[in-house]
Chains A and B, each alone.
Chain A
Amino acid sequence: MLTFDEIREIIKMIDQSSIQHFELNQDGTQIVVGKYAVSSQKNTPLDSEGVKETVSQRSTAAIQQESAKIMEEIEGSHLHKILSTTVGTFYSAPEPGADPFVKMGQQVGPSTVVCVLEAMKLFNEVEAGISGEVVEILFKDGEFVEYGAPLFLVKPE
C-alpha cells in the first residue's frame, strides 16, 4: 500500500511531465492519473478503491478552479480591452499567409501593432495602448468590425 506522501509525489511528477495518462496496479491498489478536460472525467469508471476517486476529484476540482479563474479574468474589469477605432475589415496579419501581428499569450507594449482594420482603403494599424499579455483575440481574419468593438483582451502587466 502506497503512502499518501508517495501518491502525492507521483501526482506531482506526472503533473510536471508531458504524460497525459498514468495507471498503476500494486497490491490491489489501483491509481489512475489523467490530464483530461472536466467532461471526460465523468466517463471514467470508478473502482471500489477510494484512491482513484480521490485523484479524479482532486484534478476535477483543480480544473474547475482554474477555469473559474479564467472566466473571472475575462469578465473582470481588470482586463484591458483594445477597441476598434473605425468600422472595417479585421486583418490579423500584415498579408495573407504571413504570421499574425500577435498571438495568444504574447507580451505586447503600448505601441505594438495588434491588427489592421480596413475601411475604404484606409488602413488603420491598431496599437495595444498598454503593456501586458494577450489573453483573448475576439475576431478572425477577414471579419467585419464595428466602431468601438473590443478586438483583444490584454492582461495588464
Chain B
Amino acid sequence: MRTSILNMLRNYSNEYLSGEEISRQLAVSRTAIWKHIQTLKQGGYEIEAHPRRGYRLKGVPDFLLPDEIRDQLQTKTLGQKEIFYLENIDSTNNEAKKQANLGCHEGAIVLSEMQNGGRGRISRSWFSPAGKGIWLSVVLRPPFHPYDAPKCTLLAAVAVTKAIRSVTQVQCGIKWPNDILYEGKKIVGILTEMNAEMDAINHVVIGMGINVNISQEEFPLELRQIATSLSVAADKPIPRLPLLQEILSALEKEYHKVIQHGFVEMLDEWRELSVTLGQTVDIIGASEKSSGLAVDIDKDGALLVEIEGRIEKIIAGDVSIRPRSKNLL
C-alpha cells in the first residue's frame, strides 16, 4: 500500500495529489492514507501536506530502499528480481552466499545500511558504518569455466571505477587486482567468492564496500592514512542511490560484454584505469617478498612484474605500490 501511494506521488512529481484521489484509486479511506503518509515521513520521505490541494513528494531519503533502487534502474537483471535489503548484517557476502545456496536468481543483490562483520581479504575487516557507504553483494551465475572466474574481480573493479567517475567525477583508479584508490588511498574494496564444480560455476558473489560519505576523522585511526571516501575526494556529500544504480548498470554492461565477446576488451579497459602499471611494486607472498616494475597484465588478469630482468607472473598475494612521488599516484 505504501509503495502504491509513493508511486502515485512520484508520478505527480512537484504537483499536489489530493487525498481524495488517492483514496479513490486505491480504494482505501482517507484516514488510512493519512496514516501511511505519516509512516513514510518517519521513514525519511519529505511529503508536504496541504489542507486543500493534498500531498506532494518533495524528497526521498538517501536510504537504499528496494523500491527506490528499482525506480530508474537501467538494468535487465541486476537488482530487478530480488533485492535483499537489511538494516544491519554481519557481512552482505555471507547473506548473498546463503541466498545463492538457497537458489536465488542471477542478479540478486544484498544491501545493508551497515555491516558489523564486513570482511576484507583473509581475517581483515571492512569498516562499514551505517548509511555512509554502499555495502553491496551481487550474485552471478556465470556461464563460463571456473578457470576464467578470477577475472570477475577485475571486471567488477572496471565497472565500479567507470560508474564512480561518471557519477561523481572523482578520478579514481584500480590497484591490481581490484582495489579502487584515490590519491593512493582506498575508496572501494572488492571481495569475490565462488562456489564451483570442476567444469561449471554454481555461483559467484561479488561483494563491495564503497566508502561514500565518511569523513576522514570518522575512519578508525589505523585506516586514516590508507583509506578515504568519495565525499572527501569530491569535497561534497554524494547521494548514494544514483551511484548504486549506475554501479549496477555498469556491472551488468561489463558482464554481458564479457559473456558475449570474451575478456579482451574488459582487460584493456582495466589497463587504462589502472594505477599499478608502470609503478614499482612490492609483492608479499605467503612465504617470500619481492619487488619489481609492474609492466602489464596477461590474458588471465595476472600481474606481470619485471624482477631482476625476468618477468614474473603474480596471481595471488599482496601487491603494494611503492610510493615515489605524489603526482604519479
Contacts and interface: CB of A to CB of B under 8 A. Distances in A.
Contacts, number: 86
B: interface residue count bin: 20 to 34
A77 B193 CA distance: 31
A83 B316 CA distance: 19
A123 B123 contact: no
Given A86-B146, A89-B286, A141-B286, A122 B196 contact: no
B123 A86 contact: no
B198 interface: yes
A95 to B, nearest CB: 3
A87 B315 contact: yes
A128 B123 CA distance: 23
A147 interface: yes
Interface in B146-161: 146-147, 149-154
Contacts of A88: 150, 315-316
Interface string A83-118: 101111101001110100000000000000000101
A119 B317 contact: no
Given A121-B121, A123-B193, A142-B287, A86 B150 contact: yes
Contact of A147 (B147, B152, B153): B147
B257 to A, nearest CB: 19
B192 interface: yes
The secondary-structure label for the interface of chain B is loop
Contact of B147 (A86, A94, A118, A127): A86
A143 B286 CA distance: 7
A120 B190 CA distance: 11
Given A86-B146, A86-B150, A121 B122 contact: no
B158 to A, nearest CB: 13
Interface of B: 121-123, 146-147, 149-154, 177-178, 190-198, 204, 285-287, 301-302, 315-317
